[in-house]
Chain A
Amino acid sequence: QKEVEQNSGPLSVPEGAIASLNCTYSDRGSQSFFWYRQYSGKSPELIMFIYSNGDKEDGRFTAQLNKASQYVSLLIRDSQPSDSATYLCAAYSGNTPLVFGKGTRLSVIA
């Protein structure tokens, strides 16, 4: 059973702080990893993806991947109230559809 695990939260951070979201996955064959943001009642939107070990930065977002530990994280710098949403981690192994975690609810307090 291929699984992606996330802490459901809520994770509360003050405005301007760094939010750290974590995810682990069970399938060692997973090749790429995605972070989606989902506002309440809306569809998921892709914000970051990562294939290689290490860090990948895009604006205020940094994705980190450690394949040996089967661990993926997303850092959001200078968190804003508009970042308050549920963040979904997903893993892709190339021959199966994307497997999603249950999501972590982030609340940025102004």
Chain B
Amino acid sequence: NAGVMQNPRHLVRRRGQEARLRCSPMKGHSHVYWYRQLPEEGLKFMVYLQKENIIDESGMPKERFSAEFPKEGPSILRIQQVVRGDSAAYFCASSPSQGFDTEAFFGQGTRLTVV
């Protein structure tokens, strides 16, 4: 049973480009959470999705950021027109049911560098 898979592991984008981060949850998990971690900072919640639904996007910036979790395929976090301040590690976690509990596991993260 594979864990939470994120790709790419490392992503370099020039300012103004788009970044697309993918997260495949663990088998049997239909709930996905995206967190961002800036250097020397804790994890900040961005968005919580279930299949085809955004449940809570209160932590996601209103502009340039969007997320989806389609019926088929991975969850995607999209950042348009990236800026240097978007450089961070983006972690995805999945759980089998509503609520982030002991059944939730993190992926290895995508480290985005904007140059």
Contact = CB atoms under 8 A, between A and B. Distances in A.
A3 to B, nearest CB: 10
- Give the interface size class of chain A: 20 to 34
B42 interface: yes
B60 to A, nearest CB: 12
Interface string B74-110: 0000000000000000010000000111101111110
Majority SS at the chain B contact face: loop
B63 interface: no
B106 A99 contact: no
Contacts of B52: none
Interface string B8-52: 000000000000000000000000010100001111110010000
Contact of B42 (A34, A45, A103): A103
Contacts of A88: 42-43
Interface centre among A8, A43, A46 (most CB of B within 10 A): A43
17 contacts: A6-B42, A32-B101, A34-B102, A43-B91, A44-B43, A45-B106, A46-B102, A49-B101, A88-B42, A88-B43, A92-B99, A97-B45, A97-B48, A97-B56, A97-B100, A98-B100, A98-B104
